[in-house]
């Protein structure tokens, strides 16, 4: 199975910076066999699409409805011909915008209706991590059950395990911590879906210094990268060496 690298640029880069970001990626990324997904701000999706690069395009979030009175939102119906992927359930959306599992479940359905593969982010807070593995399991199980269980018409999906305490902190989870959680996730996924080989990625302070070591984790399908993907030289090196 192809490995996957997703870059989440979040609310970064002005027009000029994004332009130069793309130029650097174009010149620095050499050969890659993997699936590379760029998720820039939505204002750049059309530009990225028209560049016709070999990278796939993802949107950083999607509305839970297909159209209507939703000021500032973007629907899956609007980007279905541009984006192959959509991040849903990112911890920043859950925390800042108070998005809950039921809404995230609806976002997943909107993705599937519009032939977009959802990248479902799940992960525990530091408080839960400190309570031990049984609490972590309970939390991840409920995030998966409440967004995927009985979600009719189960289709392609990518799961990104992103412990909240590791996002943007420079403190990545260890290989053993990730391995332990991968087992928990696959146990639940096998109960929820008959679909085999659902890719599970890790996200949380992946960078040039640690990605080689994290790559050793068996059954891990790739990475979701935030901060380190802002520097196109770092991202290119990770892509080239992955």
Q: How far is the C-alpha of 202 from the C-alpha of 163, rounded, in Å?
A: 9
The first and second tokens of residue 187, run together, are: 């146990």
Question: Could you say which residues in the range 203-222 bind ligand PEP, by CB under 6 A?
Answer: 203-206
Question: Could you say which residues in the range 129-188 bind ligand PEP, by CB under 6 A?
Answer: 162, 167-168
Q: Which residue is nearest to ligand PEP (CB)?
A: 226
Q: Which of 111, 185, 214, 225 binds ligand PEP (CB under 6 A)?
A: 225
Q: Could you tell me which residues come within 8 angstroms of residue 160 by beta carbon, excluding any fewer than 6 positions away?
A: 6, 87, 119, 120, 121, 122, 200, 201, 202, 203, 224
Identify whether the C-beta of residue 189 lies closer than 8 Å to the C-beta of residue 230: no
Residue 68 C-beta: closest distance to ligand PEP, Å: 28
Residue 6 C-beta: closest distance to ligand PEP, Å: 8
Contacts with ligand PEP: how many residues (CB under 6 A)?
13
Between 8 and 109, name the residue whose CB sits nearer to ligand PEP.
8
- For the annotated catalytic residues, the residue numbers are 90, 162
Q: Which of 227, 236, 238, 239 binds ligand PEP (CB under 6 A)?
A: 227
Q: Which is nearest to 209 in space by CA: 179, 181, 178, 241?
A: 241
Residue 224 C-beta: closest distance to ligand PEP, Å: 5
Residue 239 C-beta: closest distance to ligand PEP, Å: 15
Q: Using the rule CB under 6 A, is 88 a contact of ligand PEP?
A: no
Interface characters, 8-27, with ligand PEP (x: CB under 6 A): x-------------------
The torsion angles phi and psi of 162, rounded to 5 degrees, stand at -130, 90
Within 10 angstroms of residue 8's Cβ, the number of other Cβ atoms is 26
Rounded to the nearest angstrom, the gap between the alpha carbon of residue 184 and the centroid of all alpha carbons in its chain is: 18
**By the criterion CB under 6 A, which residues form the site for ligand PEP?**
8, 162, 167-168, 203-206, 224-228
């Amino acid at each position: 199975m192809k490995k996957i690298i997703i870059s989440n640029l979040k609310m970064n880069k002005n027009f000029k910076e994004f332009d130069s970001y793309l130029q650097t990626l174009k010149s620095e990324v050499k050969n890659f066999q993997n699936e590379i997904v760029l998720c820039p701000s939505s204002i750049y999706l059309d530009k990225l699409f028209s560049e016709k690069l070999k990278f796939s395009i993802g949107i950083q979030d999607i509305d839970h409805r297909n159209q209507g009175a939703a000021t500032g939102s973007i629907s899956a119906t609007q980007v279905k011909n541009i984006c192959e992927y959509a991040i849903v359930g990112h911890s920043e959306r859950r925390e800042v915008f108070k998005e809950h599992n039921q809404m995230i479940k609806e976002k997943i359905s909107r993705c599937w209706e519009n032939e977009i593969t959802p990248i479902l982010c799940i992960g525990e807070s530091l408080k839960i991590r400190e309570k031990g593995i049984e609490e972590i399991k309970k939390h991840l199980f409920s995030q998966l059950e409440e967004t995927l269980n009985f979600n009719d018409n189960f289709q392609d999906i990518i799961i990104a395990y992103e412990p909240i305490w590791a996002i943007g902190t420079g403190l990545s989870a260890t290989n053993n911590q990730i391995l332990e959680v991968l087992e928990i996730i696959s146990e639940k996924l096998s109960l929820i879906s008959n679909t085999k080989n659902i890719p599970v990625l890790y996200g949380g302070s992946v960078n040039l210094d640690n990605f080689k070591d994290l790559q050793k984790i068996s059954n891990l399908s790739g990475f979701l990268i935030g901060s380190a993907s802002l520097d196109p030289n770092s991202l290119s090196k990770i892509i080239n060496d992955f």
